[in-house]
Amino acid sequence: MSRVVQQPSVSASPAALLQHVRAGRASSRAELAALTGASRNTISSRVDQLIGADLLLEGGRGDSTGGRPPTLLQFNSRAGCVLAVDLGVTSVDVAVTDLSARVLATAGHPIDIAEGPRAVLGEAVRLGAEVLAAAGLSDADVRAVGVGVPGPVEFSTGRPSHPPIMPGWHDHPIPEAFARWPVPVVVDNDVNVMALGEMGVTGSDLDVLVVKVGTGVGCGVVVEGRVYRGAQGSAGDIGHIHVPAPDGRTVLCRCGNTNCLEALASGASLLRDALAAGLPVSSTRDVVGLAARGDGPALELVRQAGRTIGTVLAALVNFFNPHRIVVTGGVAHAGLPLLSGIRESVYARAMPLAARTLAVELSAAPELSGRVGAALMAVEACLDDDGVRVALS
């Protein structure tokens, strides 16, 4: 006897209809009805609500299929804005974007994350007000705030959890700092945010590892185009996986353990080893600059860091079998030396089937991915079911 397989239904909630139009899956009331299976009256009523809330716009006429040509619908990305906050160890960058994550204005300022949350978040709020003014927008236009921070975050609360490079930040209620804007405030670790930015506005259905090599080392895990955070939000914290040092050293990590990946192959470890080798540097950026200019000792330090990172990534490739690995962060500016070291270890240690079509590449826009990702995170927060329900009320 043949078995009838019931197809999953496609949601026809106002937020879902809006998402169908945003994603290009439908561009008219008739297409929404065909996609969701909902009645034309239901679709028409909910679309009218979205138009009334300024979230959808009616455009021209579509092609006729025999009757009256349909009125085309389009998402109104100017129906508000979001603030995107990218916190680093030494800088904070804030952008204001429209609801398609298109950057309207951006500003940044040096900070020291160790100054603590009050000072650093106060500067982020100041920059938020500055970019709003630069874009000709007001506080009332803000629909959500997205924040990326360089440490583990409990995603459901927006509170950092024992972040090794953020002294004084544990369990701090980051969303409360943005009370000036009574809107959803979403906080995640910076690598997950960068992973969202790498997927871009159009999204993706691929499995991807986004690896940030900066002051620390972290990994954003993307499963079928969506960031995977795990049970508590700490998925991808590869910086504290134990690895043997190539020269047999035992190196103490900031977390208190020894020979963590971060202690051997991060920007901070590169600077430490470069100074020990007598190179004329005072920052990780100096080491990366020397490597980019072809300095032999600096090149070898960066390439060895890549090999060490690649050893961990090879295990992840065997376990996760991603389509792509994207490398970003400050150390990624070293370019090919870092990438070649990573590729050397990944392709040597990963199983042939897992690595057969694997692409290992540098980010195309490392400077912007943090802010774009924070913006996309904020947009999703204000256009989910709850956010749209509030907009329609």
CATH code for the domain in which residue 165 is found: 3.30.420.40
The answer to whether residue 191 sits within a structural domain is: no
Task: For 203-230, write each residue's pLDDT tens digit.
Answer: 677 899 999 998 889 999 999 989 999 9
In order of 31, 151, 153, 237, the CA distances from 170 in angstroms are 49, 10, 9, 16
Task: For 245-282, write each residue's pLDDT tens digit.
Answer: 888 899 999 889 999 999 999 999 999 999 999 999 99
pLDDT band at 164 (very low <50, low <70, confident <90, very high): confident
The answer to whether residue 7 sits within a structural domain is: no
In order of 170, 189, 205, 236, the CA distances from 230 in angstroms are 19, 13, 19, 9
Residues 250 and 289 reside in one and the same domain? yes
Residues 314 and 248 reside in one and the same domain? yes
d(CA 119, CA 177): 10
The answer to whether residue 1 sits within a structural domain is: no
d(CA 62, CA 375): 31
pLDDT computed for residue 66 by the predictor: 60
* Average pLDDT, integer, range 95-112: 96
* Average pLDDT, integer, range 53-57: 94
Max Cα-Cα span within the chain: 78
d(CA 135, CA 105): 6
Residues 224 and 356 reside in one and the same domain? yes
In the predicted structure, residue 3 carries a pLDDT above the cut 50:
no
Residues 345 and 312 reside in one and the same domain? yes
pLDDT band at 6 (very low <50, low <70, confident <90, very high): very low
Domain closes at, from 75, 99, 118: 75
DSSP label at residue 65: S
Between 292 and 146, residue with greater pLDDT:
146
Residues 60 and 146 reside in one and the same domain? no
Residues 257 and 158 reside in one and the same domain? no
Residues 61 and 33 reside in one and the same domain? yes
d(CA 179, CA 182): 6
Q: Is the pTM of this model over 0.75?
A: yes
* Average pLDDT, integer, range 190-198: 92
Of residues 371, 370, 376, the one with CA closest to residue 99: 376
Count of CB atoms situated within 10 Å of the CB of 274:
25
pLDDT computed for residue 203 by the predictor: 65
The answer to whether residue 202 sits within a structural domain is: no
Instruction: Report strand pairing: 359-362 vs 324-328.
Output: parallel
What angle do the packed helices 29-36 and 14-22 form, to 10 degrees?
110
Residue with tokens 């963590």: 260
Residues 387 and 292 reside in one and the same domain? no
The answer to whether residue 297 sits within a structural domain is: yes
Residues 109 and 251 reside in one and the same domain? no
The answer to whether residue 192 sits within a structural domain is: no
Of residues 289, 239, 283, the one with CA closest to residue 264: 239
The total domain count for the chain is 3
In the predicted structure, residue 58 carries a pLDDT above the cut 80:
yes
The answer to whether residue 283 sits within a structural domain is: yes
Residues 260 and 347 reside in one and the same domain? yes
What single-letter amino acid sits at 20? Answer: H
Residues 332 and 217 reside in one and the same domain? yes
The answer to whether residue 155 sits within a structural domain is: yes
Question: For the chain, what percent of residues have pLDDT higher than 90?
Answer: 80
Count of CB atoms situated within 10 Å of the CB of 111:
18
Residues 358 and 223 reside in one and the same domain? yes
In the predicted structure, residue 379 carries a pLDDT above the cut 90:
yes
- Print the domain residue range for 341: 208-362
